[in-house]
Amino acid sequence: MKMSQRNFEPAYFRTFREGLFPEKIESAYRMLENCALCPRNCGVNRLKGEKGYCCTGSMPEVSSHSPHFGEERPLVGIHGSGTIFMTHCNLKCLFCQNYSISHLGEGQEVSFERLGKMMIELQSMGCHNINFVSPTHYVPQILKAIPTAVEKGLSVPLVYNTGGYDSVQTLKLLDGVFDIYMPDFKYSNSKPSQEYSQASDYPENVKLALKEMFRQVGDLLVDEKGIALRGLLVRHLVLPQGLAGTREAMFFLAQELSKNTYVNIMDQYYPCGKISLNSPLGRRITKEEYNEAIEMAKKEGITRLDKREKFHS
């Protein structure tokens, strides 16, 4: 699905013009007083320095920001996706490939002005979008930084790159702010989601989150060069022994959202983090497991798949 670059205006432009950011920011910060930003509902007062599961306080923390060329083709384009890796995570999967960031908190606290400047710096490098990685537990802080960036000339799409463990209440605050949602759909079943991500309710919450994201932005739209402007892009990491529940995930996307959902079925799983080699996840996936996942998607009607060189042996 294509849209002319000339006809595109970032969602946050209108929200900024209409003066809606202050209300969104205020609502988001109220949620920090008894933190309910994500489905964990820790209930801590982050404004007073209390920290819950995500180990995050009231200020934004960033691990790194740079053009990234390992993302999906519609995000990378020619000049890369402008990624801002937020520190910590509200999910903390045991096999996380960014373990030092998500579990160990590698990164540093930055001011809201600095976070806004990071967006402008990435845009000035030619990045096609600003891609917030693991933004769920920093929604208020990101919202507070965006107006500063808009005032300095921000004009590229914003990407919400999340593990998928998001609450609908929080996502509704982002309506009219983010142009592209890129959630993971990690698990379809509660047993592996509890064992490997300590979130037995992940499957039900990711489905609710996906529906809200799709309601806001719809199917992925790209410009004449194939670069993403707006819409939903779903990631699904294939796990050994079918533990990600690929067939159920693809069935949901096709039946509850759209058969035109843009999906990246990923093959790069490898045991890392806290995964033992004796675990069911103690090995890479096989070529057969990956091909089977692709066929499952196609049989459920999902054919708009990210086209990159696949399978890491």
Tens-place pLDDT, residues 57-74: 999 999 999 999 999 999
**308 has a pLDDT exceeding 90:** no
Mean pLDDT of 191-213: 98
**137 has a pLDDT exceeding 90:** yes
**311 has a pLDDT exceeding 60:** no
Query: What pLDDT, on a 0 to 100 scale, did the predictor assign at position 223?
Result: 95
Domains of the chain are 5-299 (3.20.20.70)
Query: What pLDDT, on a 0 to 100 scale, did the predictor assign at position 5?
Result: 73
**34 has a pLDDT exceeding 70:** yes
pTM value is 0.96
pLDDT tier, 309 (very low <50, low <70, confident <90, very high otherwise): low
In DSSP notation, the chain reads -B--GGG---HHHHHHHTT-HHHHHHHHHHHHHTT-SSTT-----GGGT---TT---SS-EEEEEEEESSS-HHHHTTT-EEEEEESS-SS--TT-TTHHHHTT--SEE--HHHHHHHHHHHHHTT-SSEEEES-GGGHHHHHHHHHHHHHTT--SPEEEEE-S---HHHHHHTTTT-SEEEEB---SSHHHHHHHHS-TTHHHHHHHHHHHHHHHH-B-EE-TTS-EEEEEEEEEE--GGGTT-HHHHHHHIIIII-TT-EEEEE------TT--TTSTTSSPPPHHHHHHHHHHHHHTT---B--S-----
**42 has a pLDDT exceeding 70:** yes
**1 has a pLDDT exceeding 80:** no
* In contact, 230 and 217? CB cutoff 8 Å: yes
